[in-house]
């Protein structure tokens, strides 16, 4: 898979109209806001595993950042969920898993490299009572900056000094390919440099996975190619319960459940991404498994229901007992 000219141009425009994408270490360090005392996080039980969603912030996607969309239908879909037409604000989520005595972080957010609306993950970890030194494993769904830049300090060092870093093998190969780097427009080059810096910082503890692999006990990877070559999700199963963390299968919930064929400018292979999205939606709607996504409305947990020729996102109910 190579970065298509169409996606390069579209993504370059999206970068230009939203936050600037930087390489960790290229911008001054920003102090993370402190978590307020008593701040609650909606931790969910999957069998014996605690899953805590962490909000890193948000990205504004302009209307022309959606690929293949019919503008009139997009306005109607937005109105149907009581949203204004035009640009879409999408969250950037990550998930903290407690497996017995081990702490696993799925994706790391963007740190300070994508502007002031992101980089809040350290605050979420603090609110969860976790320091970066306590994290044992970091799972990366793909090596885009809003998923991996948070693994690095502004100086380019490892934020999680004791953690193993798991990355998809196909993504590692793509972002380390000098031919891909040379073909990329200048706005996209920070993607390559950020991915390489993260891999280098964790080199002694870097692990690469491919296909459907057992990552750690009850966690296994699921290939979801298209958004990037190695884009992957993770299925967590415990005591008869399951959760499918599907990463970036859906970026814009208001549109892509109803219209899975609509993509985002950052999809490296839009056609493959759309096919993968439809397979994931069909799988989730068929087996009823709880899903979570990095760009689903926070906290990102829900189910997928079939609706006509498309699908519908049903936010999960919560047990409010305290």
Q: Is the pLDDT of residue 292 over 80?
A: yes
* Structural domain for 292, as ranges: 5-24+42-315
* Partners of residue 27 on adjacent β-strands: none
Can you tell me the distance from the alpha carbon of 136 to that of 140, in angstroms, rounded to the nearest whole number?
13
Q: What pLDDT is attached to residue 32?
A: 43
Dmax over CA atoms of the chain, in Å, equals 55
Token pair listed for 208? 């690469």
* Partners of residue 292 on adjacent β-strands: 245, 301
User: Would residue 32 count as lying in a domain?
Assistant: no
- Listed in sequence order, the DSSP H helices in the chain are 5-17, 71-80, 121-127, 145-148, 169-175, 178-183, 189-201, 253-256, 270-287
Which DSSP string do the residues of 19-57 spell out, in sequence order? PPP--TTSS---PPPPPPTT-----EEETTEEEEEEEEE
Q: Is the pLDDT of residue 275 over 80?
A: yes
pTM of the complete model beyond 0.85? yes
Helix H or strand E encompassing 177: none
Report how many domains make up the chain: 1
User: Would residue 322 count as lying in a domain?
Assistant: no
User: Would residue 30 count as lying in a domain?
Assistant: no
CATH of the domain at 193: 3.60.15.10
User: Would residue 126 count as lying in a domain?
Assistant: yes
The better pLDDT of the pair 163, 101 is held by: 163
User: Would residue 321 count as lying in a domain?
Assistant: no
112: confidence class by pLDDT, cuts 50, 70, 90 = confident
User: Would residue 46 count as lying in a domain?
Assistant: yes
Q: Is the pLDDT of residue 172 over 90?
A: yes
Contact criterion met (CB below 8 Å) for 103 and 135: yes
306 contact partners, CB below 8 Å, separation of at least 6: 285, 312
Radius of gyration of the chain (CA): 18
The better pLDDT of the pair 321, 224 is held by: 224
CA distances to 11, 106, 148, 218, 312 from 45, in Å: 37, 16, 25, 14, 24
Contact criterion met (CB below 8 Å) for 150 and 110: yes
How many CB atoms are closer than 10 A to CB 99?
18
Please provide the average confidence, as pLDDT, over all residues in the chain: 90
- Listed in sequence order, the DSSP H helices in 202-256 are 253-256
Q: How many residues does the chain have?
A: 322
Q: Is the pLDDT of residue 138 over 50?
A: yes
Terminal CA-CA length for the chain? 48
Comparing CA positions, the residue from 54, 145, 134 lying closest to residue 96 is 54
- Mean pLDDT over residues 126-138, rounded? 96
Q: Is the pLDDT of residue 96 over 80?
A: yes
Can you tell me the distance from the alpha carbon of 82 to that of 77, in angstroms, rounded to the nearest whole number?
9
Comparing CA positions, the residue from 159, 89, 167 lying closest to residue 125 is 159
273: confidence class by pLDDT, cuts 50, 70, 90 = very high
Q: Is the pLDDT of residue 68 over 80?
A: yes
User: Would residue 248 count as lying in a domain?
Assistant: yes
Contact criterion met (CB below 8 Å) for 298 and 55: yes
pLDDT in tens, 20-39: 455 555 443 343 444 444 45
Which of 100-104, 111-115, 224-228 has the weakest average pLDDT? Answer: 111-115
User: Would residue 68 count as lying in a domain?
Assistant: yes
Comparing CA positions, the residue from 89, 47, 73, 64 lying closest to residue 12 is 64
- Mean pLDDT over residues 81-101, rounded? 94
């Amino acid at each position: 898979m190579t970065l298509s000219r169409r996606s390069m141009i579209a993504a370059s425009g999206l970068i230009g109209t939203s936050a600037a994408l930087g390489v960790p270490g290229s911008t001054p360090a920003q102090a993370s806001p402190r978590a307020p005392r008593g701040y609650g996080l909606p931790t969910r039980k999957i069998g014996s595993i605690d899953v805590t969603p962490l909000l890193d912030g948000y990205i504004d996607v302009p209307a022309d950042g959606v690929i293949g969309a019919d503008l009139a239908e997009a306005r109607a879909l937005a109105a149907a969920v009581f949203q204004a037409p035009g640009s879409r604000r999408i969250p950037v989520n990550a998930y903290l898993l407690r497996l017995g005595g081990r702490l696993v972080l799925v994706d790391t957010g963007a740190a300070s490299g994508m502007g002031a609306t992101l980089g809040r993950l350290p605050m979420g970890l603090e609110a969860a009572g976790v320091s970066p030194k306590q994290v044992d494993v970091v799972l990366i769904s793909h090596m885009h900056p809003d998923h991996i830049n948070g693994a690095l300090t502004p100086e380019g060092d490892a934020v999680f000094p004791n953690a193993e870093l798991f990355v998809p093998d196909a993504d590692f190969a793509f972002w380390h390919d000098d031919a891909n780097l040379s073909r990329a427009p200048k706005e996209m080059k920070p993607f390559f440099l950020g991915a390489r810096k993260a891999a280098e910082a964790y080199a002694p503890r870097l692990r690469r996975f491919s296909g459907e692999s057992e990552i750690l006990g009850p966690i296994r990877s699921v290939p979801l190619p298209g958004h990037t070559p190695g884009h992957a999700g993770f299925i967590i199963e415990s005591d008869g319960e399951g959760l499918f963390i599907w990463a970036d299968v859906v970026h814009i919930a208001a549109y892509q459940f109803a219209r899975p064929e609509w993509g985002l400018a950052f999809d490296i292979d839009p056609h493959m991404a759309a096919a993968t999205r439809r397979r994931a939606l069909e799988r989730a709607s068929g087996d009823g498994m709880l899903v979570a996504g990095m760009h689903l409305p926070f906290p990102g947990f829900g189910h997928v229901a079939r609706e006509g020729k498309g699908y519908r996102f049903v936010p999960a109910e919560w047990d409010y007992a305290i």
